[in-house]
Amino acid sequence: QVQLVESGGDSVAPGGSLRLSCVVARNTNNAVSSMGWFRQAPDKTREGVAGISGSGTLSRVADAVKDRFIISRDSAKNAVYLEMKNLKPEDSAVYYCAARGRYSSLDALVADAYNHWGQGTQVTVSS
C-alpha cells in the first residue's frame, strides 16, 4: 500500500509564496519512487505541475510555472516539496501529490501515468 499526505496549502495574496509538502507515509515493497504534483481548479481538468525522479536528479516543471515553481525531495524524510513563489490568482486550485514507479520525463506531467494520489491541499491566491 501507498499513502501520501500533503500539507502546506493556504490562502495568500498575489505575489506571495508557499511551500507544499508531500510525505510518503507508507510505501509497501517500495512500490513507488517517482513523484509528481498536479493541480485542479473548479471546472477544469487536472493539470500536471511538476515531476521528480526517485533519486531527485531528474525533474520536469510545466512551462506555465517553471519560472516560479521548484520541485525537490528529501529522501531521508520521504518527502517531496513544491516551492511556489510570485503566486497568481490563476494558481488557485487543489494541489495533489502523486506517486508511481519509474520516472519518465515523457509523461511526468500526465495524471494517468500515476497510480497513487494524496487527498489534496487547497491553495487560494486572492487579494
Q: Tell me: the pLDDT tens digits for 73-126? A: 998 999 999 999 999 999 999 999 999 999 999 899 999 999 999 999 999 999
**Grid cell of 110 as nine digits:** 500526465
Task: Assign 34 a pLDDT band (cuts: 50, 70, 90).
Answer: very high
Cβ–Cβ < 8 Å for 74, 55 = no
Task: Assign 30 a pLDDT band (cuts: 50, 70, 90).
Answer: confident
